[in-house]
Structure 1
């Protein structure tokens, strides 16, 4: 159990370093956390480049990124690993979502989406979900990181729709809303996204740790 001193420090936090260099992801985090009067500082502000993601689970990748950035900045840090899991593809692309078409390096959204649709050719089951795993570290040696997870369920459609969002959003269809995520405004997306769900859970853990 964390000490009262550590908990007091967590509850007084008004700024966090975000272990990410993805401009789209940074925009979403800034928007979501702004509702809780917490400023998000991307790691690029400290001149830190992207961290390699070498693990096979979202949690391990997020923890490593958070520890790395917190150690370099000596500040409270959050890190996320997220991806798209498709039922019929044995939950692929999963942790490889950003580099699906070329698994050894980041690839373009168009190539990733084209490969996804090709791999689902003639498959009826299009169920999928986005997952976001977020880790909070109060300091680089924090022995009890706070971890939260959010999921957004939908299905993959062949024809892309919408010009907003990023990643697989043009093909990720939400039956409840009758449109893809890419057809939503950022405000609409951030009310229901896997990322906003995970952030909400994390903030609740921080405040009630």
Structure 2
């Protein structure tokens, strides 16, 4: 039986792109979605040393501030040739102005310095950790990942963040060239979704909604 406490859910983000993705993912479940930004809740300091820890910090802060269950995501791009950078600092690499064009250029410059010119040398993955926290302290946590390569120049204007520079394995278009449905749509046949966030959401959805 579905938990009635999940009829209203706070998404612990001030990022419009992430909020839009979560609204689409939750729409089939009839959940009323609010956001930390809309509620005027502050963004907590992300002091965790893992994606999972930061997701839990954000969800806990939103759940306490709103008095409602809160879902948080902490995600990032990890480039193997850069020792996993930008990783936990993916958003910070874009600076206060959210300049991901500059952040992608920084990645490319560092890859060039290391002579990473072949696809094998430009391996990367996106990771998304999700934490759902209730005001009483209950927690559900999952993590999703998608592997691929860094392309240059970045391609496409869809999505957000580093999407234009990331080519997922088995595809010939970057996340930035894919529609939102292609990127994080949940297959009707129950197969695995494509994006890291959608894969994590699939795991969480099965626990919460049985689908």
Fold agreement, TM-score > 0.5:
yes
Matched residue, 2:47: 54
What does 1:80-119 align with in structure 2 at a 5 Å threshold? Answer: 80-100=73-93, 107-119=98-110
CA contact (8 A) 2:151 2:167 kept: yes
Q: Output the aligned Cα RMSD.
A: 1.8
Equivalent residue for 2:127, pick from 116, 131, 138: 131
CA offset digits 1:47-75 (Å, max 9, x no partner): 11322212221111111111111111111
2:201 pairs with 1:199: yes
CA offset digits 1:77-124 (Å, max 9, x no partner): 11110000111111111110011255xx56411111110111111214
Gaps of 5+ in 1: 1-7
Equivalent pairs counted in the alignment come to 197
**Whole-angstrom distance in 2 between the partners of 1:175 and 1:46:** 38
**Whole-angstrom distance in 1 between the partners of 2:163 and 2:78:** 13
2:4 pairs with 1:14: no
SS in 1 for 2:20: helix
**Whole-angstrom distance in 2 between the partners of 1:101 and 1:27:** 20
**Whole-angstrom distance in 2 between the partners of 1:12 and 1:75:** 8
SS in 2 for 1:179: coil
CA offset digits 1:18-61 (Å, max 9, x no partner): 10000011001101111222222111222113222122211111
CA offset digits 1:152-197 (Å, max 9, x no partner): 1110012111111111111101241211010001111112211111
CA contact (8 A) 2:7 2:31 kept: yes
Gaps of 5+ in 2: 186-193
**Whole-angstrom distance in 1 between the partners of 2:3 and 2:42:** 26
